[in-house]
């Protein structure tokens, strides 16, 4: 915008006001589903832009209408104004206010565009979302901005993406990495287990070693989000965060066994290793929020 306001008037002095001018670039913000951003997608978007009026070919004149030369500027599109001050007189060249720099206008205006030469149109455009995009990614769609002036080229359309969170709340994305909580029972972590885990696009079995602590992170390298521009060859990591679920209610049989277990291990509260301390788990959680 600064460019437009700052440079335009000075440049116009020497340049022909009827010269071709490029149309404005447009910005369109769209939401992209969690999985669409990860694996890519084709989407249809609606853009509202200025197109050349087909009825008058962008001239703004009714078919067969003559063009009238502006009598304020004599057709050059500019006027000179002389100001007298204490320090002398200054001549300033400005755009002709009568014809808005065009130098001429049609005797009869085109009815479709009311003489503007342009019409506002909503157009459906198919765009390709590459795999691995994240919020803030800008896709350039050439020529789908506003139509140019005097036969100038169209502007471009910039589609700005906003990636939504996983609807089911299973996966959390941080850049190209994915975090997923894996709830396990006390028995599974105490005795060890093999658990099937649903990754982004495949299932895999992971081994839970006996004595696994809550907050432990099992990282599967290269099973995260495809890295943009690598055709899915390179991917981020998939992190499985172990959580231990304490049952809210136990059956009477379970209770009996638990009481027995409690009496066996009475007084022996297991010590945690330093790296699995509650504080360290908290630090890890904070790190995830970076
Ligand atoms: Zn028209
Ligand atoms: Zn004029």
Q: Tell me, yes or no, if the pTM score tops 0.85.
A: no
Q: Report the top-level CATH class of 19-58+116-164.
A: mainly beta
pLDDT tens-place string over residues 31-40: 999 999 999 9
CA 102, 48, 44, 40 dihedral sign is positive
Q: What pLDDT, in 10s, does the model give residues 47-61?
A: 999 999 999 888 888
211: three-class secondary structure by DSSP: coil
Q: What pLDDT does residue 154 have?
A: 95
Whether 19-58+116-164 shares its CATH topology with 171-288 is answered yes
C-alpha distance across the termini of the chain, in Å: 34
More confident residue, 270 or 53: 53
Distance 165 CA to ligand 2 centre (A): 55
**Residue ranges of the domains in the chain?**
19-58+116-164, 67-106, 171-288
Decide if pLDDT at 16 tops 80.
Answer: no
> How many Å lie between the centroid of ligand 1 and the Cα of residue 119?
8
Asked whether residue 5 carries a pLDDT value surpassing 50, the answer given is no
At the topology level, CATH places domain 171-288 in HSP40/DNAj peptide-binding domain (2.60.260)
Q: What is the predicted pLDDT for the residue at 289?
A: 47
Best CA proximity match to 226, nearest among 128, 133, 129: 133
Ligand nearest to the CA of 97: 2
Å from CA of 121 to ligand 1 middle: 13
Complete DSSP assignment for 234-280 = SB--EEEEEEEEPPS---HHHHHHHHHHHHHTTT-PPPPPGGGSHHH
Smallest-distance ligand from the CA of 57: 1
Model pLDDT for residues 176-187, shown as the tens digit of each residue: 999 999 999 988
Q: Give the closest ligand to the alpha carbon of residue 17.
A: 2
Higher local confidence (pLDDT), 271 or 98? 98
For the chain, what percent of residues have pLDDT higher than 90?
56
């Amino acid at each position: 915008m600064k460019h437009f306001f700052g440079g335009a008037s000075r440049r116009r002095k020497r340049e022909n006001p009827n010269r071709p001018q490029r149309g404005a670039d447009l910005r369109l913000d769209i939401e992209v589903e969690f999985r669409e951003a990860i694996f890519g997608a084709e989407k249809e978007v609606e853009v509202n832009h200025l197109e050349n009026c087909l009825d008058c070919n962008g001239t703004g004149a009714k078919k067969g209408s003559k063009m009238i030369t502006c009598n304020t500027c004599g057709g050059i599109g500019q006027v000179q104004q002389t100001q007298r001050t204490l320090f002398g007189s200054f001549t300033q060249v400005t755009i002709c206010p009568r014809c808005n720099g065009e130098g001429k206008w049609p005797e009869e205006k085109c009815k479709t565009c009311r003489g503007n030469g342009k019409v506002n149109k909503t157009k459906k455009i198919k765009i390709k979302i590459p795999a691995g995009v994240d919020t803030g990614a800008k896709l350039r769609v050439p020529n789908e901005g506003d139509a140019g002036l005097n036969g100038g080229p169209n502007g471009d359309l910039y589609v700005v993406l906003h990636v939504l969170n996983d609807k089911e709340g299973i996966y959390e994305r941080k850049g190209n990495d994915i975090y997923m909580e894996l709830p396990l029972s006390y028995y599974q972590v105490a005795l060890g287990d093999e658990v099937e885990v649903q990754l982004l696009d495949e299932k895999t079995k992971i081994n839970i070693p006996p004595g696994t602590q809550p907050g432990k992170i099992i990282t599967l390298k290269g099973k995260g989000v495809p890295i943009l521009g690598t055709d899915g060859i390179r991917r981020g990591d998939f992190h499985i965060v172990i959580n231990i679920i304490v049952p809210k209610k136990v059956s009477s049989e379970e209770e009996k066994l638990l009481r027995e277990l409690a009496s066996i291990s009475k007084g022996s509260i297991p010590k945690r290793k330093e790296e699995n301390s509650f504080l360290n788990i908290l630090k890890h959680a904070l790190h995830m929020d970076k």
